[in-house]
Amino acid sequence: MAGNRASAGHLLRLIRSGEATTRGELRQATGLSRSTVGHRLEQLFGAGWLRDSAGASTGGRPSARLEFDPAHGVVLVADLETRHGRAAVLDLAGTTLAERTGELFISDGPDAVLDRLARWFALLVDEAGTVPGMVCGIGLSVPGPVDPESARIVQPPIMPGWDRFPVRERMREAFAAHIAPLPPAGPLPVLLDNDANLMALAEQRENHPGCGAFLLVKASTGIGAGVVVGGEVYRGTDGGAGDIGHIRLHDRPDALCMCGSYGCLAAVASGRSLAERLTAAGVPTASGSGVRDHLAAGQPDAVRFAREAGQRVGEVLVTVVTLLNPGVLVLAGDLAGTPFLAGVRELLHQRALPRTTAHLSVTLSALGDRAALVGGAAMVVDHLYAPDRADARLAALARGDR
């Protein structure tokens, strides 16, 4: 790990991960003296980041265990879909304090969407009973690829007007306009990532923490995948990892995709394509969320089309799971239900080598439509309390900055 392994930020990492949760364990893990550990902990307690709790007794006096205190700040998180958005205030442990969902069209462009989102955040901060000064950062989940270096959305097929737009800067402006002026200490952290990545991060940490190679596929308006390896999201060279919706199918050269190409998986098996098929079959459907409603009602054509879509996605996933060898594959999004799951499983077990699927669990999302919010909060908290960044924030607090 980069940075000073004896720093307060490093001790905080050990406490947050559960590797060392008493003063004695911290001394053993770091080799630091009692006085040095005590000084580092004073910094963390002084910032309000830690709290004591009684540990388990072994017959004598219970040891005082150290815990990260999630109540000293909040994060604002939003999950942006094509036709609606979900926003929330969460504490630093990921507990939702206030939440709302509403109509929000990604096609209206970044200025309109981010301004409306800031208005939602302002209402939610009040509803949560917190104050703007407790906001530590903002996390955004978006339905497009994000370059991790520039933090800009790059060539998103279903987000017109968002390509390389300065989302972080515009979100900070909207925060200052609708919630509170930014402090002089520095810009408010604004992080964004692809929705499938954040959903994968949330599902892996919340429900499959022991899985070292984890895969999530989201099938909604588009189709994308999130990969978590060793507890970290794998994003590829420039954020393009997991964009399986634009893998070409050999037998559908006639299917026009929103990216402008023909034969993409998303053009055949996404919620948008199923909505078009249902409408053509006499079942008017405007979007992937409409397909979801038909599936919930057991509409026969929707059930059949969803199973077929699962089979097409399964064709692609045969290659993906053979390459990655994941232990868990989670299906999420508007199409994720029993018919879609059955189609995916059918093709995987038909075409993948038995060894590839012998230890593979294929299941539906447990977090549902909250997964991106949970993952977005985790992304912000990981960023804020990474050892080097935590040390820099502690130094700023010592100077009297925010």
Position 151 in a domain: yes
Query: CATH number for the domain including 158?
Result: 3.30.420.40
State whether 281 and 319 are in the same domain. yes
Whether 247 and 153 share a structural domain = no
Query: In this predicted structure, which of 57-71, 330-344, 358-372, 382-396 has the lowest mean pLDDT?
Result: 57-71
Q: Under DSSP, is residue 65 helix (H, G, I), strand (E, B) or coil?
A: strand
Range of the domain at 130: 73-196+372-386+394-398
Q: Is the pLDDT of residue 1 over 50?
A: no
Residue 3 resides in a domain: no
pLDDT at 64: 83
Q: Which tokens in the block code for residue 180?
A: 């509170």
Residue 52 belongs to domain with CATH number: 1.10.10.10
Share of the chain above pLDDT 90, in %: 87
Q: Are residues 56 and 153 in the same domain?
A: no
* Residue 391 CB contacts under 8 Å (≥ 6 apart), including other chains: 3, 4, 7, 8, 9
Residue 181 dihedral angles phi and psi, to the nearest 5°: -60, 145
Residue 266 near residue 335, CB atoms below 8 Å: no
User: Closest Cα to residue 287, out of 101, 107, 78, 87?
Assistant: 107
Query: Are the C-beta atoms of 188 and 172 separated by less than 8 Å?
Result: yes
Q: What is the mean pLDDT of residues 134-141?
A: 96
Q: How confident is the model at residue 63 (pLDDT cuts 50, 70, 90)?
A: low
Residue 265 falls within a domain, yes or no? yes
Query: Does residue 53 form part of some domain?
Result: yes
Contact call for residues 139 and 371 (beta carbons, < 8 A)? no
Residues 346 and 285 in one domain: yes
Indicate if 217 and 258 belong to the same structural domain: yes
Residue 2 has pLDDT above 50, yes or no: no
Residues with Cβ within 8 Å of residue 132, at least 6 apart in sequence:
125, 179, 180
Burial 52-87 (b: 16+ CB within 10 A, else e): eeeeeeeeeeebebbebbbeebbbbbbbbbbebbbb
- pLDDT tens digits, 362-400: 999 999 999 999 999 999 999 999 999 999 999 988 877
> pLDDT grade, residue 248 (50/70/90)?
very high
Query: In the predicted model, what is the mean pLDDT of residues 246-268?
Result: 94
66, 38 in Cβ contact below 8 A? no
Q: How confident is the model at residue 346 (pLDDT cuts 50, 70, 90)?
A: very high
Q: How far apart are CA 17 and CA 15, in angstroms?
A: 5
Judge if 79 and 122 occupy the same domain.
Answer: yes
* pLDDT at 252 exceeding the cut of 60: yes
Could you tell me the pLDDT band of residue 299, with boundaries at 50, 70 and 90?
Answer: very high
The overall average pLDDT reported for the chain is 93
- The answer to whether residue 295 scores a pLDDT higher than 80 is yes
Query: What CA–CA distances, in Å, run from 283 to 261, 290, 296, 351, 402?
Result: 27, 10, 14, 33, 55
91 & 187 share domain: yes
pLDDT of 9 above 70: yes
In which residue are the tokens 């299917």 written? 255
- 253 and 108 in one domain? no
Q: How many domains does the chain have?
A: 3
HSE, CB side, 13 Å, CA atoms: give it for residue 319. Answer: 9
Do 100 and 31 share a structural domain?
Answer: no
Per-residue pLDDT at 183 exceeds 80: no
Amino acid at 78: A
Same domain, 239 and 299: yes
Q: In what order do the strands lie in the sheet with 232-233?
A: 232-233, 223-229, 213-219, 328-332, 361-364
Residues 241, 150, single domain; the answer is: no
Instruction: Please report the pLDDT score of residue 399 as a whole number.
Output: 79
